[in-house]
Every structure is written in C-alpha cells, then in structure tokens.
C-alpha cells in the first residue's frame, strides 16, 4: 500500500503540463516521455496487453482471476497537469503529522487554515505539498499512482477474485481533449471509473455542461489628439462586453449547482483585442441560455458600433454525464459500497468541472468519478493527505472484488 506515496512523488516530479495552444496530439512531447516510462513500469509489475498507441493513450489489462464471463471494469486517470500554474521542477515534500498551523512554503505561499479550512480535517495526518513554486500535480498523478498501486496488489493477491480489469491513462485532460481519440470499443470495459476526484469520499456522476468562447474585437487606431468620432478602442469594447454579462455569474461568486461565465484570458491594444471565456452550467437549459446571452451581447455591441467588429467563436466542449449514468445507476452504487467497505463515507456531489469520464460516458462507457484525495488543484496551495490516497487504493480493490461477483447479462 505504501508504494502509492513513492509512486506519486516520482510521478509528480516529472514535467507533464499540457498546452492549450498546441496543434499536436498529445499537446506536449513531455507527456509522451512520461507515458513511455509508465509503459515500462506496467510491464515490470506484470500487467498484460500493455500498449501505448499513436495518440499517447496507455492501456493495460489485469487478467481475470475467477469467472471469465464477469463484467469488465475499467479505471482511468490522466497524466497531464494543468497549464494554469507551473508544473516544471515540482518538488514534493511530506509534512508529517500535520499540526493545524499554517503551512509555510516558498515565495510567501502559505496554506493557511483561515483561507483553506479543509486542511484542518487532516490534523494528525501526513500530507504532501509542493514547495510553493509549482503546483503539486495530485490532479491527476495521485489517481495514476493509486491505479497502478492497486493493479500491482491485485496481481500479487491470492485472495482477490475478479473479472478482467482494464486500465487507461490519458493525456491532455486539462485542456479538454483527453478522450478525443480514445477507442472505447477497443478498451473493452462495460463501465469504468475515473480516479480524478478531490477530497476523500467524493463520488460524482454529474458535471458541468461546458463551452468555450473566443471573442475577437477589431478596433480602429487613430492618433489620440485627432480621434474624436474616429477611434474605436478595442480594449474599451472588451470592457463593455465584460460588463454586460451578469457579474454575479462569475466563478468567484458561485458554488454547488450555480453556473458561470469565466473570463479566462484578455489581451489587447487599441487596434484589436481578444477574450476567452469558459461557460459552465449543470442544467442544460441554463447552459443554453448562457450561450444565447453571450451571442445577444455580441450582436448588441455590433449594432451599437454600426458594423460587425466583434466576432464570436463558440464551441461546446462536453456535457453533463448524468443523463448517461442514470440508466445504469448500479455503477454508482458499486462505488458507494466499495467506499463504505473501506470505512469511507461517500460524498455524492456534482463536479464543478469536467473529467474524461464525462465524454467517455457519452461515447458509450459509463464512467463516474471517484476521489483521488487532493485539494486546491491547479496552484501552489495544492496538497494531498497520504491516508486519503491509501483509502483510494482500497476503494479500487473493493470495486474490483464487487464487480468480480457480477455476471454479464
């Protein structure tokens, strides 16, 4: 069990950040470098059918130990880390027996219980953090380490009876392309679980509907001393557009099932400006309303300008997996039972984000999300408690046993 910590620290140190601006797949070669090492490790521990395809997906099989006609379960995790914060030269450190005081890291980064009160749930436990200069990468290298560790335990156990088990490790989840080329039919699982959740006990089968918007604004640059009725300042047009969207529907003002418009980037000059927005909502009708409002705002500004100087590119990214999971709710019940067997209280909640499981569910592979244990992803305040990782491994083992008792229809 303790190997999960050793594995996670080893994985976290490897640079695998994905790149949203890349035109390749995977988006960065460094992910391929990591995947090749992972292939070698999976072969070394004795997994079967270990393969990395031309898109960088790594898959493997744990052969059945029991009845061959049992259901086939899969476990999935992504290897890339978020480009929102540096993932290069990660230096994980273990804080033994956390005492409830602020955790002081480099660059004046402090994981202060006053700002991050959830850390107080782990007083007395050992936790892993980065050093303050990078993110940690528990999203989702904790999930990778937990799956690989559970696989090794299953292979070496004489007591765990199970059907065939499939494993998959994906690139580019953090930039929304984790399953663009994933072959669900070839993978061959009846259902699967992403190990990509947060705190211990999280069990999720619904997520945001998601769209991305790119807005380009063409201004008109004229010498400011002679610009009356001539200049069109693209930056000020961008400012106007931002102000026309509901200020209460921004991420910093929303929680639970509340959706949002997230201004992801803004760059510009008088002559031109560009904005990128993320649009999110669990409710499909509200999701459509948000997209329509953005379209209307762009139309109104163009009408006011008297010409089409604002261009909107709007693209759906993924949808709420709940619609695909509800007909097969037994897959959620299995995870719930596996947690209870491990002494973990299930916390069924909606993901305020997305996972590979959302798109896999729409591609025919029902795929709820199970906790990997981390907190405060995508930044220097990230941490993961070691006992949470150990429990995640135990939950994987329990799922394998429970599914091992399920005959195919």
Query: Among all residues, which ones are annotated catalytic?
Result: 80, 173
Q: Which helix (H) or strand (E) holds 152?
A: helix 138-156
CB 390 within 8 A of CB 122: no
Could you tell me where the beta strands, DSSP code E, fall in 83-238?
93-95, 103-104, 110-111, 127-129, 165-170, 191-197, 202-204, 209-218
**Nearest-angstrom CA–CA distance, 370 and 194:** 6
**Nearest-angstrom CA–CA distance, 280 and 263:** 12
Q: What tokens appear for 171 in the block?
A: 């690139």
Residue 262 burial by Cβ neighbours in a 10 Å radius (0-12, 13-18, 19+): middle
Pairing of β 202-204 and β 347-348: parallel
Question: Tokens 């991305």 map to which residue?
Answer: 212
Give Cβ neighbours of residue 105 (< 8 Å, ≥ 6 apart): 111, 129, 130, 131, 132, 380
* Residues forming beta bridges with residue 318, ordered by sequence position: 210
Q: Which helix (H) or strand (E) holds 51?
A: strand 48-52
Residue 233's closest CA among 274, 272, 273, 270?
Answer: 270
**Nearest-angstrom CA–CA distance, 249 and 168:** 36
**Nearest-angstrom CA–CA distance, 265 and 44:** 43
Gyration radius of the chain over CA positions: 23
CB 249 within 8 A of CB 260: yes
SS3 310: strand
């Amino acid at each position: 069990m303790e190997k999960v910590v050793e594995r996670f620290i080893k994985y976290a140190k490897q640079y695998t950040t994905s790149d949203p601006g890349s035109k390749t797949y995977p988006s960065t070669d460094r992910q391929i470098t990591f995947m090749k090492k992972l292939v070698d490790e999976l072969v070394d521990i004795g997994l079967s059918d270990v393969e990395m395809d031309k898109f960088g997906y790594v898959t493997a099989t744990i052969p059945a130990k029991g009845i061959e006609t049992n259901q086939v379960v899969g476990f999935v995790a992504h290897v890339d880390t978020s480009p929102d914060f540096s993932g290069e030269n990660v230096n994980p450190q273990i804080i033994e027996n956390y005492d409830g005081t602020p955790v002081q890291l480099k660059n004046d980064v402090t994981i202060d219980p006053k700002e991050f009160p959830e850390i107080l749930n782990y007083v007395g436990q050992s936790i892993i953090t980065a050093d303050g200069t990078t993110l940690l990468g528990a999203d989702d290298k904790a999930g990778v380490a937990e799956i690989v560790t559970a696989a090794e335990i299953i292979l070496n156990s004489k007591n765990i009876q199970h059907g065939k088990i499939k494993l998959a490790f994906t690139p580019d989840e953090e930039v929304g392309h984790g399953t663009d080329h994933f072959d669900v039919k070839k993978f061959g699982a009846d259902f699967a679980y992403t190990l990509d959740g947060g705190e211990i006990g999280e069990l999720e089968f619904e997520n945001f509907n998601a769209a991305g918007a790119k807005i380009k604004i063409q201004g008109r640059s004229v010498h400011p001393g002679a610009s009356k009725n001539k200049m069109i300042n693209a930056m000020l047009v961008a400012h106007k557009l931002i102000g026309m969207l509901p200020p209460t529907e921004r991420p910093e003002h929303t929680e639970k099932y509340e959706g949002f418009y997230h201004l992801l980037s803004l760059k510009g000059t008088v002559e031109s400006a560009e904005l990128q927005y993320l649009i999110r909502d669990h409710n499909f009708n509200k999701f459509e309303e948000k997209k329509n409002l953005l379209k209307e705002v762009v139309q109104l500004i163009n009408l006011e300008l008297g010409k089409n100087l604002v261009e909107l590119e709007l693209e759906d990214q993924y949808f709420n997996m709940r619609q695909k999971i509800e007909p097969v709710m037994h897959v959620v019940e299995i995870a719930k039972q596996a947690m209870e067997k491990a002494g973990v209280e299930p916390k069924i909640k909606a993901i305020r984000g997305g996972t590979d499981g959302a798109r896999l569910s729409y591609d025919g592979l029902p795929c709820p999300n199970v906790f990997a244990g981390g907190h405060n992803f995508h930044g220097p305040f990230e941490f993961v408690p070691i006992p949470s990782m150990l429990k995640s491994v135990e939950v994987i083992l329990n799922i394998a046993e429970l599914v091992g008792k399920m005959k195919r229809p």
